């Protein structure tokens, strides 16, 4: 690619691509390809000017070589990335906004007064008709107020005021629609599938492959607790599938052979082999976008109250208009009241504040699935943390393998990794990564793998039953025993580690000792959360009392519970809610899903199980607990902004009405100040909440 360097400083270079014009698709291609290089930290593409800003670390010459080698024709960019980037949307609405401003002020400069009046009268028909239709449905709402104000100005021959009012209304509509669609698009993209690997079934064997290599009619196997990666038909198996993300159904749906399943739904129980029908994943994005557009999920209760309050205030505005005329018999003062209402600002500023907060949260890797959840976070006084992968680091490591059968550590690790790689849990990942680090390879040598939530895994390996999991599962549920002569070794297991037990044919074969280091920021994050309004912090874990007690003391929680099952976590959340407390649940595993669903706000850690991310209301993508602190701060600041907006809107517009009745302000001035204040408050509502922090 031919380009020239426009300016540069250390770690940043701005180049101009030597081409006649850059399309949005080409801009997305440039951005995607450059971000694939580890030494490039940030890319910003300005398609209108053809400029590209690249932030990098290390050697500048490497960036120059990458830019020189780049060609659109050879760039390999996922189709879903190009389809869902949002760049076209931003360009479309920016053009609309600029076009509206140019036409409005161009008309004032280029056309005589008579022509401008005719144009204003013609445009007013739309608003007057909307008001008539609203009245025809026996509703006295904002369209009636707009129609009356515009119609009264036209009748009086004051088309300049009518034109200004309509212009500001149109600009407000564009800004609201743009912000809403952008926020919905950002939210839908963040909720869309992010699956890198899938299990391809070939010649009866499961092979872990890249999701991008899957083609229509391939067979893909999905295990319990995972997200279904593609639309397709069930070729084999029986399962319960949670489709709530697409249909809103709260209960899982039974899927049998020849049934149809959708990308993005969660397989809660059982196992399915799917014949893929749509392999590009775009259907999931489209369905999510449609679902959000059509639902009320984005609205917080404060947004809904604002809309209802706006409509309820319309009759009072009309009453004030009539009363002013009866008292003053002055048409100018009467229209001054009519030109001012509270509803425009209330209906515009509140949704924009919430949607902008959702957008701001996304810049901190926080995916918020609705405005009402930000409101709930602000009101929350209790937060419940899972321990493993949440308060502790998301990547525990295997420190030691204790053999009870005399087999080598490598052989035991091979068997354990063969089973554990099928299931999304931090402990399982630790085992799989330990095998990879040791260079241990294995073939799929087991029969069907059965996963028992919060307990462990059971399967047949070389005609022998193998179970791996917790002490409760291995020794109490499966009735396994310690080999003769192994009791002393068992009693001497190091206490500083978590233990994963593996038994073969009913006899303990190995104990895998796993270190799950505490997150460095855990203690500080909890202190800040308490300072931000959380009065009760609880830790719940399936680990032993010994481990739980040690972690709880170090992080500073108010209460902790050990050896709990998934239903215990959910039951505790329900009990706290019954006491009138607002509860946040933070977790990352399949066993946290019931509690995440039960809480007022469920927050899933992004590195956890897909089902946890799916049922959660908010997904924290950053690999530290400060993201939860940031979420709390954004939510608190959002509530302050919304309540502040209420005061500004009511106070300012009341002042305008009083000045109009007193004859100090003319109707044109009242309309201009009212609509200008609405736009300014709305623009202020779109600013970042934490920009000064």
Model confidence, pTM:
0.61
402 and 481, same structural domain?
yes
Q: Look at 23-32, 174-183, 316-325, 482-491 and tell me which has the smallest mean pLDDT.
A: 174-183
402 and 509, same structural domain?
yes
Q: What is the pLDDT of residues 661-685, one digit of tens each?
A: 777 877 667 767 877 777 788 778 7
115 and 63, same structural domain?
no
Give dist(CA 445, CA 463) in Å, integer.
10
Whether residue 285 lies inside any domain: the answer is: no
Whether residue 312 lies inside any domain: the answer is: yes
pLDDT at 610 over 70: no
CA nearest neighbour of 153 among 678, 680, 676, 666:
666
125 and 71, same structural domain?
no
Can you give the residue range of the structural domain that contains 345?
92-188+298-353+637-685
DSSP annotation of 235:
E
CATH number of domain containing 447: 3.40.1110.10
Confidence tier at 609 by pLDDT (50, 70, 90) = low
Give dist(CA 306, CA 348) in Å, integer.
9
- β-strands 397-403, 450-452 pairing: unpaired
Whether residue 644 lies inside any domain: the answer is: yes
Q: What is the pLDDT of residues 216-235, one digit of tens each?
A: 899 999 988 788 888 899 99
Bigger pLDDT: 352 vs 129: 129
401 and 511, same structural domain?
yes
Strands (E), 195-262: 197-202, 205-210, 219-222, 231-242, 253-255, 260-261
pLDDT at 536 over 90: yes
Give dist(CA 254, CA 270) in Å, integer.
10
DSSP 432-460: HHHHHHTT------B---EEETTTEEEEE
Whether residue 106 lies inside any domain: the answer is: yes
- β-strands 205-210, 197-202 pairing: antiparallel
DSSP 627-671: HHHHHHHHHHHHHHHHHHHHHHHHHHHHHHHHHHHTTSS-HHHHH
CA nearest neighbour of 623 among 599, 647, 641, 605:
605
How many domains does the chain fold into? Answer: 5
305 and 184, same structural domain?
yes
Residue 115: CB atoms within 10 Å: 11
501 and 405, same structural domain?
yes
SS3 398: strand
Residue 201: partners with Cβ closer than 8 Å, 6 or more residues away: 207, 219, 220, 221, 273
Whether residue 693 lies inside any domain: the answer is: no
CA nearest neighbour of 334 among 666, 640, 59, 673:
666
CATH number of domain containing 222: 2.70.150.10
Q: What is the pLDDT of residue 176?
A: 64
Average pLDDT, the chain: 81
Radius of gyration in angstroms for the set of CA atoms belonging to the chain, rounded to a whole number: 31
497 and 407, same structural domain?
yes
Whether residue 341 lies inside any domain: the answer is: yes
Mean pLDDT of 266-274: 85
Confidence tier at 185 by pLDDT (50, 70, 90) = low
Give dist(CA 193, CA 227) in Å, integer.
9
Q: Give the DSSP H or E segment for 336.
A: helix 331-338
510 and 403, same structural domain?
yes
pLDDT at 630 over 80: yes
């Amino acid at each position: 690619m031919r380009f020239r360097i426009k300016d540069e400083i250390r770690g940043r270079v701005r180049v101009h691509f030597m081409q006649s014009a850059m399309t949005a698709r080409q801009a997305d291609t440039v951005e995607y390809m450059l971000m694939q290089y580890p030494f490039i930290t940030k890319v910003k593409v300005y398609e209108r000017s053809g400029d590209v800003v690249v932030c990098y670390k290390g050697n500048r010459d490497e960036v120059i070589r990458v830019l020189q080698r780049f060609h659109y024709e050879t760039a390999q960019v996922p189709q879903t990335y190009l389809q869902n980037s949002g760049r076209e949307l931003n360009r479309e609405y920016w053009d609309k906004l600029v076009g509206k401003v140019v036409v409005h002020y161009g008309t004032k400069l280029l056309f005589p007064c008579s022509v401008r009046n005719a144009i204003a009268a013609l445009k007013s028909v739309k608003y007057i008709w909307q008001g008539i239709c609203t009245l025809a449905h026996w509703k006295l709402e904002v369209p009636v107020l707009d129609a009356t104000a515009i119609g009264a100005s036209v009748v009086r021959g004051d088309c300049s005021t009518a034109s200004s009012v309509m212009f500001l209304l149109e600009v407000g509509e564009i800004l609201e629609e743009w912000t809403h669609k952008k926020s919905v698009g950002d939210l839908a993209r963040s909720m869309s599938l992010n699956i890198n690997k899938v299990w391809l079934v070939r010649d009866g064997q499961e092979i872990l492959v890249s999701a991008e290599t899957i083609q229509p009619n391939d067979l893909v196997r999905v295990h319990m607790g995972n997200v279904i990666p593609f639309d397709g038909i069930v070729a084999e198996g029986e399962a319960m599938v949670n489709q709530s993300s697409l249909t809103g159904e709260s209960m899982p749906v039974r899927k049998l052979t020849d049934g149809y399943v959708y990308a993005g739904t969660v397989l809660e129980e059982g196992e399915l082999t799917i014949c893929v029908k749509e392999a590009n994943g775009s259907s999931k994005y489209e369905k999510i976008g449609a679902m959000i557009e059509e639902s009320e999920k984005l609205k917080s209760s404060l947004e809904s109250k604002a809309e209802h309050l706006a409509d309820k205030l319309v009759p009072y505005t009309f009453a004030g208009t009539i009363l002013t005329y009866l008292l003053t018999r002055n048409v100018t003062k009467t229209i001054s009241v009519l030109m001012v209402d509270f509803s425009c600002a209330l209906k515009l500023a509140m949704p924009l504040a919430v949607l902008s907060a959702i957008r701001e949260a996304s810049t901190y890797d926080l995916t918020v699935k609705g405005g009402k959840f930000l409101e709930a976070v602000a009101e929350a006084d209790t937060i419940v943390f899972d321990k493993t992968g949440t308060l502790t680091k998301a990547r525990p490591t295997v420190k030691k393998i204790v053999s009870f059968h005399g087999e080598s550590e490598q052989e035991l690790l091979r068997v354990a990794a063969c089973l554990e790689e099928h299931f999304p849990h931090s402990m399982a990942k630790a085992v799989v990564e330990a095998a990879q680090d040791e260079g241990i390879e294995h073939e799929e040598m087991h029969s069907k793998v059965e996963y028992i939530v919060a307990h462990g895994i059971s399967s047949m390996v070389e005609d022998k039953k193998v179970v791996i999991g917790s002490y409760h599962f291995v020794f109490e549920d499966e009735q396994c025993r310690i080999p003769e002569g192994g009791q002393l070794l068992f009693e001497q297991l190091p206490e500083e580690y978590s233990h994963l037990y593996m038994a073969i044919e009913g006899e303990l074969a190995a104990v895998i000792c796993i270190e799950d280091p505490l997150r460095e920021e855990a203690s500080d994050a909890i202190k800040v959360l308490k300072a931000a309004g959380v009065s009760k912090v609880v830790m719940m874990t399936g680990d032993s009392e010994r481990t739980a007690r040690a972690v709880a003391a170090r992080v500073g929680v108010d209460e902790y519970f050990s050896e709990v099952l998934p239903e215990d976590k959910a039951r505790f959340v329900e009990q706290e809610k019954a006491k009138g407390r607002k509860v946040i649940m933070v977790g990352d595993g399949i066993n946290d899903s019931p509690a995440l669903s039960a809480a007022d706000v469920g927050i899933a850690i992004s590195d956890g199980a897909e089902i946890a991310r799916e049922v959660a209301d908010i997904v924290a993508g950053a690999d530290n607990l400060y993201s939860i602190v940031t979420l709390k701060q954004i939510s608190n600041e959002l509530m302050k902004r919304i309540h502040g907006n209420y005061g500004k809107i009511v106070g300012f517009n009341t002042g305008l009405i009083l000045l109009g009745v007193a004859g100090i302000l003319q109707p044109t001035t009242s309309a201009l100040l009212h609509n200008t204040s609405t736009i300014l408050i709305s623009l202020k509502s779109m600013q970042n909440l934490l920009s000064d922090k």
